[in-house]
């Protein structure tokens, strides 16, 4: 057979420690939360309709699993254990996001930054609608 079919490549039979895999997952989480911040913050606001800044662990996990990346329960518990700000069994989700290393200011969830983005999105929608209407004439 062909020389490429006779592999001399040796693979590493030792698996990497779980802590390395966890760091990789955390890096991915950080990148994906940053990339999908608009969706993540929309869901945080949806579940925190009263604006307390606190959500149950299960709700945060659901948002992370569905909007970002599914995370193993034990790894999620490890991430939550870094938080210190709890209220009636609920987690301060901005602290959770910050402890993960995502660079988001609190205003980005419900404050001025979100209002600017929402206003910009509305303006862009109006612009596209106007352009579409002009094109049809």
Reported as a pLDDT band with limits 50, 70 and 90, residue 17 is low
pLDDT at 12: 60
Q: Please give the tally of structural domains in the chain.
A: 2
d(CA 95, CA 82) in angstroms, rounded, equals: 9
Is there a domain that residue 8 lies in?
A: no
- For the whole model, what pTM was predicted? 0.62
Q: For the domain that residue 69 is a member of, what is the CATH number?
A: 1.10.238.10
pLDDT at 22: 77
Strand-by-strand arrangement of the 54-55 sheet: 54-55, 90-92, 86-87
Reported as a pLDDT band with limits 50, 70 and 90, residue 131 is confident
pLDDT at 79: 92
Whether residue 116 sits in one domain with residue 94: no
């Amino acid at each position: 057979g062909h020389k490429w079919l006779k592999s001399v490549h040796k693979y590493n039979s030792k698996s990497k420690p779980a802590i390395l895999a966890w760091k990789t997952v955390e890096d991915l989480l950080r990148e994906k939360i940053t990339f999908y911040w608009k969706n993540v913050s929309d869901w945080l606001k949806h579940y925190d309709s009263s604006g307390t800044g606190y959500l149950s662990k299960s709700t945060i996990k659901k948002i992370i699993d569905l909007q970002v990346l599914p995370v193993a329960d034990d790894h999620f518990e490890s991430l939550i254990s870094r938080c210190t700000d709890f209220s009636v069994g609920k987690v301060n989700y901005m602290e959770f996001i910050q402890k993960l290393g995502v660079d988001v200011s609190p205003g980005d969830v419900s404050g001025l930054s979100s209002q600017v983005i929402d206003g910009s999105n509305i303006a862009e929608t109006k612009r596209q609608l106007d352009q579409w209407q002009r094109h049809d004439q």
